[in-house]
Amino acid sequence: MSQLDRLWNRDFDIRTRVISLICVLLIPLLALSSWLAYSYADAERRVIEAKRFDAANNITFLVEREINKLSGILKGLALSPDLMSGNFEMFRAHAQTIAATTKGQLTVFDPTGRELFSTNPQSGLQPLHFTQMRPTNGQWSDVIFVSGIIPSNGTNPAAISIVLPVVHDGKLLYFAQSIFDPQPLSVVFAHARLQPNWVSAVVDSKGLFISRSLNSAASIGKPARPELASAARGVRDVGEFDNVTLEGLVAANSFQRSQVTGWTTVVAVPKDELNAPLRRTQRLVLLIGLAVSLSSLAVAWRMATHISEPVRKLSEASVALVEGRPLPVIPHKITELSEVSAAFEHAGAKLAHLAAIIASSGDAILSVGVDGNVISWNPGAERMFGYQIEEIIGKPKTLIIPPELVADAMAQLERARAGERVRTETQRLHKDGTRIDVSLDLAPIRDHHGTVIGMSTIARDITEKRAAAQHQHFLMRELTHRSKNLLAVINAMARQTVRSSDSLGDFEKRFSSRIQGLAASHDLLVSQDWAAASLRDLVSKHVQVFSESAGSRLELSGPDVYVSVEAAQAIGLALHELATNSVKYGALSHPSGEIAVHWAFDKMSDNRNGLRMAWEERGGPPVTKPIRTGFGHIVTERMVAQSLDGDVTIDYAPTGLTWILNFPTTHLIDRTASARSAATRTA
């Protein structure tokens, strides 16, 4: 057996089970709540990431718009007739105005790259390497070329260049170049409405800063962090990466490359801001989960205590029931426990009746353990053998056995230990040494596992002076056996009901119902002097327990027969389970449902004389075979068959359940002979 199986099969108290149930219910609930909370936090993170990407896209658009403005101005200048005709003197005024507007420098080169005109010839700026520009399919077009950052040469600050081929009739005339300071581009970050703690930058294809949202003037032309430089030189136009900004901020970045300039825009969001929703969610889930768990467990503990204390008192009630003491008062407000208490009181009343008979009997009724020492000793034993109960309890039974009969007594004890019932006539010793002729009835005592734990003995004085009391002793012995059997049946019912019950409430309801069913059989046996029971009355009583109107829907047919006490108990339990199932699911659950019970003498399968008894239901809802079986199935099929040495057949036909019992006629009682014997004993 695995460790898990051993743990599962252990006995746990009600508190543990109720708290475990609450925990089992809380775990998926808390898991679901955590999943929803974390999903919400993840959604918040995705929103931030989407905003980060949108910011990168927006800044790229704004930068492209600024470049397109400059490109438009440059294109307008390139279409000047003065430039087309090479009249640079006339062109200069126009170019100077444009340069002042753009705060840059305008330069014109011939196709070889030789400078022809500049608005600031003293700037010292070097012309671009126009070898990077190529005609498309041999034809030049007005497609602009945007450079990366032009590093500072010590005299001039870092700058950016836009070059436009000037083409006329498909012929390249000039290259027009606009060189400007990139610092004004930083205005785009304000227009992009970045979050206060976000950082954005634009870098060229070499990974040099063109503009930056923080400390832009000092950053222009400086190399970016390796991760950003790698993204700027890479083949992907959009993407993400993590790095540490120049300010030492651990950030997650989105980048996008412009198709117009070739520059890369990056927006960095602090990792703390991205993880903030998750941290808030973790704290919230922890606090709420802890509060819910503690409050639920507190309520569970209180409820379990409210239930467990009166249930624990039931064990005291059961001990008092067995020992014949008054049942303790169990204060509670639980309906099912009230039903169990009522059942205990009902059983206690019957056991008290039997105990009173035993206590007043002249028979010696005692029990010994497997070691042969006396366990119980009734007043009849005190009177018969002269030993008071405090003198004999725990002492060996051999004190009341003549020496020459000790070996026989030990052999009888071994037979009882082996599960055999022993009846014999012999002699026993009084405390004063007087020999007493007795009739002994020995039987094994079993625990709830069926293990023999001792032996019961009923000793009757069969001397002539006690002959008049013989009937009384006999009756006491029989009643004692009935009480032992009753306790064994109750014990078995309790054990089996526990195994098939889903909860304590379910156990209490089923156990109470079965105790009442057993009581119904006993009521009938008591009315018949505990000698036999009419089969017809037995069926009627168990069906009418559930409803007075059920009798009008019950059809009985068969000869008048009487069954033995053991058979009445076994058949009564089976009838109780059949009637219970019929009221819940069968014919008695429907207004038009009916039950027919008929019996007749018939040969059994092994050719023994038997009685065939059939329970047939009709007019009820459609019947289906149950998926799982419980104690009711054990009673109606296995237990009754084993008790009567017969066989049971159950047919779950859709039109109605049919239950058939075949048992030997040895379990039938000749009522005439029984009545005559009872009259003789009474006389």
CA atoms within 13 A on the CB side of 548: 0
DSSP 221-283: TSBPPHHHHHHHHSS-SEEEEEEE-TT--EEEEEEEE-TTT--EEEEEEEHHHHHHHHHHHHH
CA dist 327 to 36, 48, 370, 505, 523, Å?
Answer: 54, 71, 30, 21, 22
What is the Cα–Cα distance from 583 to 519, expressed in whole angstroms?
19
**In percent, how much of the chain has pLDDT > 90?**
18
Whether 518 shows a pLDDT value over 60: the answer reads no
Whether 64 shows a pLDDT value over 80: the answer reads yes
Whether 555 shows a pLDDT value over 80: the answer reads yes
Whether 349 shows a pLDDT value over 80: the answer reads no
Whether 614 shows a pLDDT value over 90: the answer reads yes
Characterise 607 by phi-psi region: left (phi > 0), alpha (psi -120 to 50), beta (else).
left
Confidence at residue 525, expressed as pLDDT on a 0 to 100 scale: 54
DSSP H stretches of helix in 79-200: 81-85, 88-102, 187-191
DSSP 23-48: HHHHHHHHHHHHHHHHHHHHHHHHHH
Confidence at residue 500, expressed as pLDDT on a 0 to 100 scale: 60
Residue 521: which pLDDT band, with cuts at 50, 70 and 90?
A: low
Residue 498: which pLDDT band, with cuts at 50, 70 and 90?
A: low
Whether 408 shows a pLDDT value over 70: the answer reads yes
Whether 441 shows a pLDDT value over 50: the answer reads yes
**Residues forming beta bridges with residue 452, ordered by sequence position:** 446
Residue 7: which pLDDT band, with cuts at 50, 70 and 90?
A: low
Q: Three-state SS for 500?
A: helix
Cα four-point dihedral sign 293, 295, 300, 305: positive
- Higher-pLDDT residue of 410, 344: 410
The model's pLDDT over 353-393, given as tens digits with 9 standing for 90+, comes to: 766 776 777 788 888 888 888 988 888 888 888 999 888 99
The model's pLDDT over 458-484, given as tens digits with 9 standing for 90+, comes to: 888 887 655 544 444 444 454 454 455
Residue 227: which pLDDT band, with cuts at 50, 70 and 90?
A: very high
The model's pLDDT over 113-144, given as tens digits with 9 standing for 90+, comes to: 787 777 776 554 555 545 456 666 666 776 78
The helices-and-strands tally (H runs, E runs) of the chain is: 19, 23
Dihedral angle computed from the Cα positions of residues 582, 585, 587 and 593, in that order, rounded to the nearest 10 degrees: 140
Confidence at residue 495, expressed as pLDDT on a 0 to 100 scale: 61
Whether 78 contacts 166, CB under 8 Å: yes
Confidence at residue 475, expressed as pLDDT on a 0 to 100 scale: 41
- Higher-pLDDT residue of 11, 645: 645
Confidence at residue 514, expressed as pLDDT on a 0 to 100 scale: 58
Whether 164 contacts 100, CB under 8 Å: no
Crossing angle of helices 335-360 and 504-527, in 10° steps, is 40
Return the percent helix, strand and coil in the chain, to nearest 5.
Answer: 50, 25, 25
Residue 550: which pLDDT band, with cuts at 50, 70 and 90?
A: low
Confidence at residue 478, expressed as pLDDT on a 0 to 100 scale: 45
Q: Three-state SS for 518?
A: helix
Which residue type sits at 83?
A: L
The least confident of 147-161, 430-444, 492-506, 599-613 is 492-506
At 177, list the tokens: 């170049």
Contacts of 179 (CB under 8 A, 6+ apart): 104, 105, 107, 123, 125, 150, 159, 160, 161
Q: What is the mean pLDDT of the chain?
A: 79
Residue 218: which pLDDT band, with cuts at 50, 70 and 90?
A: confident
Whether 172 shows a pLDDT value over 90: the answer reads no
Contacts of 417 (CB under 8 A, 6+ apart): 370, 444, 452, 455
- Helix (H) or strand (E) holding 633, with range, is helix 631-633
Whether 292 contacts 51, CB under 8 Å: no
For the ranges 240-254, 446-460, 579-593, the maximum mean pLDDT occurs at 240-254
Contacts of 168 (CB under 8 A, 6+ apart): 84
The model's pLDDT over 279-296, given as tens digits with 9 standing for 90+, comes to: 888 788 888 878 887 887
Whether 263 shows a pLDDT value over 90: the answer reads yes
Whether 501 shows a pLDDT value over 70: the answer reads no
How far is it between the farthest Cα atoms of the chain? 163
